[in-house]
Amino acid sequence: MILKKLLKTLISLIFTVLMVFVGITATAEDRDEKNEWYEQALNAYNTQDYQTALHYFTLLADAGDPYAQYTTASLCFYGWGTDQNYEKAAEYARMSADQGIAAAQALLAHMYLQGLGVEQDIAKAAALNQLGADGGDAYAQNALGWMYDNGIGVEQDYVKAKEYYQLAADQGQPDAQTNLGVLYEDGNGVPQSYETAAKYYQLAADQGQPYAQTYLGILYENGSGVPQSYETAAKYYQLAADQNLASAQAWLAQLYEFGDGVEQSSEMSLKYYQLAADQGDPMGQWGMGKAYQFGVGVDVDYVKAAEYYQLSADQEDPDGLECLGYLYLEGLGVEQSMEKAIELYELAAERGSEEAQRQLLILGQ
């Protein structure tokens, strides 16, 4: 929700506002001293001397400047120019938030939501995000939309989620554009529309948002709302996979497995399934289970296949459940158990696995 690049994009604007602020509030002598602090802070920041920048921003913050308080909080939050210090970040963010700075309200809300430097308080997070959203902060608007989307700290309301996502998306906030795309793809709070989902995913993907890149890749792979194209799907999966997004790595692995949009490569498929599985992605775990079951890029090892399928099944992945059911049916890598196989097939079938449904018919279930 709160991105490091937010601080970088705000520094120039904050400096301009700081100059105006001091011109209004300070005496001539104070203005000269504080102007010097502002210049030192900005020069240090622009040369990536964050330690010096933090020193001068802290002087300004302690003098009561709300914008410097927010900047100091952000530097402490990310550990720029100092050791990461959530408690100090919360202290300065609260000072700034109390003076009505929407970006500080958004930062403090994030800290209450995650319990960073403060005791976790979901209700306070929602209240602060509301203040920040009302103040026009795109990150607060997206965060509040997410809370309404998921019913966290507020009653679930897809219509309100859409409202706040839209406000943030209209300001170009890529996470909000992604979240808005998901609402349109699923038809939650808005008429279902793959075309509109693709529109918002594209806006976010163009800004490097890895989830948007992945979701857009899936739309291209399936031809939903966009022309079907494995090549374009592979392009977007690769962009997200390069950012170490596990789900994108798993989808890319599957393209390499079958040679869709890329040159078929068991080696590349195994590489990306492993990367995804190592991060706990259920599709990646399922892919590694297949590799060990069938000896694709590795020696056949039913015990390892069962281990990976179990990891995937534990996350209720229908393919992991179905494949694990097959191993129990045949007694491969696990003790043979018809009862366990049927149980797993039923779970997989409930989650949409057509193969599990077919197996249950064969078994007379």
pLDDT of the residue at 356: 94
Residue 82 included in any domain: yes
Coil, strand or helix: which one is 37? helix
Burial 278-315 (b: 16+ CB within 10 A, else e): eeebbbbbbbbbbbbbeebbbeeebebbbbbbbbbbee
The secondary structure of the chain in percent helix, strand, coil, rounded to multiples of 5, reads 75, 0, 25
Asked if 198 contacts 226 with a C-beta cutoff of 8 angstroms, the reply is: yes
Quote the pLDDT of residue 144.
98
Sequence-distant (≥ 6) Cβ neighbours of residue 241 within 8 angstroms:
248, 249, 252, 272, 275
Residues 6 or more apart whose Cβ sits within 8 Å of residue 361: none
Poorest-confidence range of 15-29, 115-129, 329-343?
15-29
How far is residue 141's CA from residue 164's CA, in Å, rounded to a whole number?
A: 5
Rounded CA gap, 45 and 127, in Å? Answer: 32
Task: Assess contact for 289 and 309: CB atoms under 8 A.
Answer: yes
Does 15 reside within a domain?
A: yes
CATH number, residue 32: 1.25.40.10
Any domain includes 239: no
pLDDT of residue 133: 98
What pLDDT is stored for residue 9 in this prediction?
46
- Contact by Cβ (8 Å): 153, 125: yes
Region of 198 on the Ramachandran plot (φ > 0 left; ψ -120 to 50 alpha; else beta): alpha
Q: 214 near 251, Cβ under 8 Å?
A: yes
In a domain, 312, yes or no: no
Q: How confident is the model at residue 23 (pLDDT cuts 50, 70, 90)?
A: very low
Q: Are 73 and 79 in contact (CB under 8 A)?
A: no
What distances in angstroms separate CA 216 from CA 126, 220, 227, 248, 283, one per listed residue? 30, 6, 11, 11, 18
Q: Are 75 and 104 in contact (CB under 8 A)?
A: no
- Provide the 10 A C-beta neighbour count for residue 9: 10
Domain of residue 84 covers 1-110
Asked whether residue 31 is domain-assigned, the answer is: yes
Number of domains within the chain: 1
pLDDT of the residue at 33: 76
In a domain, 243, yes or no: no
Amino acid at 238: Q
Instruction: Establish if 56 belongs to a structural domain.
Output: yes
Q: Kindly state the percentage of the chain with pLDDT values over 90.
A: 86
Q: What's the confidence (pLDDT) of residue 27?
A: 53
Using DSSP's 3-state secondary structure scheme, residue 51 falls into helix
Any domain includes 33: yes
pLDDT average, residue stretch 299-313 = 98
Checking if the pLDDT of 26 tops 80, the result is: no
Which tokens go with 316?
């209720």
Q: How far apart are CA 343 and CA 349, in angstroms?
A: 10
* Tokens standing for residue 34: 């504080």
pLDDT for res 31: 63
Q: How far is CA 94 from CA 100, 117, 142, 147, 276, in A?
A: 10, 11, 20, 21, 38
What per-residue confidence (pLDDT) applies to 29? 57
pLDDT tens for 153-191 read 999 999 999 999 999 999 999 999 999 999 999 999 999
CA distance 269 to 285: 12
pLDDT band with cut points at 50, 70 and 90 for residue 30: low
Cα angle 129, 135, 138 (rounded to 5 degrees) comes to: 65
Burial class (CB in 10 A: 0-12, 13-18, 19+), 263: exposed
